[in-house]
Chains A and B, each alone.
Chain A
Amino acid sequence: QTVVTQEPSFSVSPGGTVTLTCGLSSGSVSTSYYPSWYQQTPGQAPRTLIYSTNTRSSGVPDRFSGSILGNKAALTITGAQADDECDYYCVLYMGSGIWVFGGGTKLTVL
Chain B
Amino acid sequence: EVQLVESGGGLVQPGGSLRLSCAASGFTFSSYAMSWVRRAPGKGLEWVSAISGGGGSTYYADSVKGRFTISRDNSKNTLYLQMKSLRAEDTAIYYCAKSLGGVNYPIDYWGQGTLVTVSS
Q: Are B59 and A98 within 8 A (Cβ)?
A: yes
Asked whether B44 is an interface residue with its Cβ less than 8 Å from the other chain, the reply is yes
Question: Would you call the interface of chain A mostly helix, strand, loop, or mixed?
Answer: strand
Determine the interface band of chain B, counting residues with CB < 8 A from chain A.
Answer: 20 to 34
Residue of B whose beta carbon sits closest to that of A1? B62
Residue of B whose beta carbon sits closest to that of A44? B112
Answer whether A34 and B105 are a contact pair too, CB < 8 Å, given A46-B95, A96-B59, A98-B59: yes
- Which residues from A are CB-within-8-Å of B73? none
Which residue of the partner chain, among A38, A48, A98, contacts B45 with CB atoms under 8 Å?
A38
Interface residues of A in 94-110 (CB under 8 A from B): 95-104
A residues adjacent to B (C-beta < 8 A): 1, 34, 36, 38, 40, 45-48, 51-52, 57, 87, 89, 91, 93, 95-104
B residues adjacent to A (C-beta < 8 A): 35, 37, 39, 44-47, 50, 57-59, 61-62, 95, 100, 103-113
Beyond contacts A48-B108, A52-B106, A97-B59: 4 other A-B pairs, Cβ-Cβ < 8 A, are A34-B106, A45-B112, A47-B110, A48-B107
Interface CB pairs A-B, < 8 A, 14:
A34-B106, A38-B107, A46-B37, A46-B95, A46-B110, A51-B100, A51-B106, A57-B108, A91-B107, A96-B59, A98-B47, A98-B61, A102-B44, A104-B45
